[in-house]
Amino acid sequence: MTGKKYRKVESFVALSFCCMAALFGLFWLVFILGDVVVYGFSAINWELFTEDPAPPGMEGGGLRNAFVGQLLITFFATLIGVPIGILGGTFIAEYGRGGKLSTIVSMFSDIMVSVPSIVIGTFVYAILVIPFGHFNGWAGSVALAVIMIPVVLRTTEDMLKLIPWSLREAAFALGAPYYKVIIQVVYRGAATGILTGILLAIARVAGETAPLLFTSFNNSFYTTDMNEPMASLTVTIFQYAMGPFDDWHQMAWAASFVITFFILIVTVTCRALVKWKYGKN
């Protein structure tokens, strides 16, 4: 075989393996999403959003408690996690640029990104559930916030570092103090990137179950009191899918569909934002 032919065969083999691996991955993805759509979509009805769960074994009912709980927990998690993440990222990229403390914080947040979420759940259980003696919504929000912080922090850091240093010097040269340079020039330039980071972090925590099992747990009743145990979609899916009743399974499918759809929308929004902002050049 000549060298040229041999290279062509090699190339063909490599290409085939790549395609097979891609198809294998795609197959399961479509399988899972397909199931969620088929079973989930058919299980969706108006009562799902307006009614609370019926007692076990009874027909009807919905998951209003879980939808509201999920929204509240995620909302407060965002409220706690995003400012800390953004300010931390700002410290690393601006005030502490190149310093020892920045390197350490940056490294630890890298580790935090890959800490199993159940570990974070048990940690928050120890500090916010045990002392109060019962599960509560706040603990759930804090657990999700802890997961969000490193994601937001690292994106913020990366986005701020993309802003050319000369832009900051130009603002300093006009007599701007550092905080104004950051708020008025740097944040403005990095806004889309930071927003994308926030949305990705929300999408990331919206699908978390383990940290909520240990913190907000579940509640079959509708509540907006964050001091109470609180239902969430993911924990509900876990419980209902394991449960003995058919209509529970139906509702688990419906909840799966809604949460998958939500994450899909958030992710697509992120991609659109990135494309809109950075796609031109």
Partner 1 sequence: MEKIVIETKNLSFFYAEQGNKPSLKNISLQIIEKGVTALIGPSGCGKTTLLRCFNRMHDLYPGIRYEGEIIFDGKNMLSSNTDLIDLRSRVGMVFQKPTAFPMSIFDNVAYGLKLKGESNKSEIADIVEQSLKNAALWDEVEDKLNASAYALSGGQQQRLVIARAMAVNPEIILFDEPTSALDPISTGKIEELIAEIKKDITIIIVTHNMQQAARISDHTGFVMLGEMVEYGKTEKIFTNPREKITEDYITGRFG
**Closer residue to partner 1, CB minimum distance, 23 or 174:** 174
The distance from CA 8 to its chain's CA centroid, rounded to whole angstroms, is 43
Tokens of 117: 């979420």
**Closer residue to partner 1, CB minimum distance, 2 or 166:** 166
CB of 85 to partner 1, least distance (A): 21
CB of 158 to partner 1, least distance (A): 17
Contact call for residue 275 and partner 1 (CB under 8 A): no
CB of 266 to partner 1, least distance (A): 25
CB of 166 to partner 1, least distance (A): 5
Burial of 90: CB neighbours in 10 Å, binned 0-12, 13-18, 19+: buried
Contact pick of 3, 55, 177, 279 for partner 1 (by CB under 8 A): 177
Q: H/E/C letters for each residue in the chain?
A: CCHHHHHHHHHHHHHHHHHHHHHHHHHHHHHHHHHHHHHHHHHCCHHHHHCCECCCCCCCECCHHHHHHHHHHHHHHHHHHHHHHHHHHHHHHHHCCCCHHHHHHHHHHHHHHCCCHHHHHHHHHHHHHCCCCCCCHHHHHHHHHHHHHHHHHHHHHHHHHHCCHHHHHHHHHCCCCHHHHHHHHHHHHHHHHHHHHHHHHHHHHHCCCHHHHCCCCCCCCCCCCCCCCCCCHHHHHHHHHHCCCHHHHHHHHHHHHHHHHHHHHHHHHHHHHHHHHHCCC
Contact call for residue 195 and partner 1 (CB under 8 A): no
Contact call for residue 279 and partner 1 (CB under 8 A): no
Binders of partner 1 in range 73-132 (CB under 8 A): none
Distance, CA of 7 to CA of 14 (rounded, Å):
10
Select from 32-40, 179-187, 209-217, 236-244 the region that touches partner 1 (CB under 8 A). 179-187
Contact pick of 96, 189, 207, 243 for partner 1 (by CB under 8 A): 189
Contact pick of 16, 184, 224, 227 for partner 1 (by CB under 8 A): 184
Contact pick of 82, 148, 171, 182 for partner 1 (by CB under 8 A): 171
Select from 5-13, 113-121, 172-180, 226-234 the region that touches partner 1 (CB under 8 A). 172-180
Calculated CA dihedral for residues 99, 104, 107, 109, nearest 10 degrees: -110
**Closer residue to partner 1, CB minimum distance, 1 or 174:** 174
**Closer residue to partner 1, CB minimum distance, 64 or 180:** 180
Binding-residue pattern over the window 151 to 170 for partner 1, x denoting contact by CB under 8 A: -------------x-xx-xx
**Closer residue to partner 1, CB minimum distance, 94 or 247:** 94
Count residues near partner 1 (CB under 8 A).
17
Contact call for residue 175 and partner 1 (CB under 8 A): yes
Q: Binding residues for partner 1, per CB under 8 A?
A: 164, 166-167, 169-177, 180, 184-185, 188-189
